[in-house]
Amino acid sequence: MSQSIEVLNLRTQRDFQYVLKMETQMKGLKAKFRQIEDDRKTLMTKHFQELKEKMDELLPLIPVLEQYKTDAKLITHFKEEIRNLSAVLTGIQEEIGAYDYEELHQRVLSLETRLRDCMKKLTCGKLMKITGPITVKTSGTRFGAWMTDPLASEKNNRVWYMDSYTNNKIVREYKSIADFVSGAESRTYNLPFKWAGTNHVVYNGSLYFNKYQSNIIIKYSFDMGRVLAQRSLEYAGFHNVYPYTWGGFSDIDLMADEIGLWAVYATNQNAGNIVISQLNQDTLEVLKSWSTGYPKRSAGESFMICGTLYVTNSHLTGAKVYYSYSTKTSTYEYTDIPFHNQYFHISMLDYNARDRALYAWNNGHQVLFNVTLFHIIKTEDDT
Percent helix, strand and coil across the chain, each to the nearest 5: 30, 35, 35
pLDDT tens per residue across span 297-312: 999 999 999 999 999 9
Torsion of CA 248, 252, 254, 258, to 10 degrees: 120
Instruction: Give the pLDDT of residue 131.
Output: 95
DSSP code for 11: T
| Total residue count of the chain as it appears in this document | 383
Per-residue CA distances from 172 to 38, 140, 148, 176, 219 (Å): 54, 12, 12, 12, 17
CB distance 78 to 91 below 8 Å: no
- 380 has pLDDT over 80: no
Helices vs strands, H then E, count in the chain: 7, 20
Please tell me the distance from the alpha carbon of residue 19 to that of residue 107, in angstroms, as a whole number: 18
Mean pLDDT across 273-282: 98
Mean pLDDT across 211-215: 97
Non-local (6+) Cβ contacts of 292 within 8 A are: 270, 273, 274, 275, 276, 309, 325, 332
Please tell me the distance from the alpha carbon of residue 38 to that of residue 158, in angstroms, as a whole number: 44
pLDDT tens per residue across span 341-356: 999 999 999 999 999 9
Tally the C-alpha atoms within 13 A of residue 155's C-alpha that lie toward its C-beta. 0
pTM of the full predicted structure? 0.70
- 181 has pLDDT over 50: yes
Instruction: Give the pLDDT of residue 318.
Output: 85
Q: Residue 297: count other Cβ atoms within 10 Å of its Cβ.
A: 17
pLDDT tens per residue across span 77-128: 666 777 777 777 676 666 655 556 677 667 777 776 666 555 555 558 899 9
Q: What percent of the chain has pLDDT over 70?
A: 71
Least confident of 6-20, 41-55, 78-92, 256-270: 6-20
Mean pLDDT across 318-339: 96
Instruction: Give the pLDDT of residue 8.
Output: 47
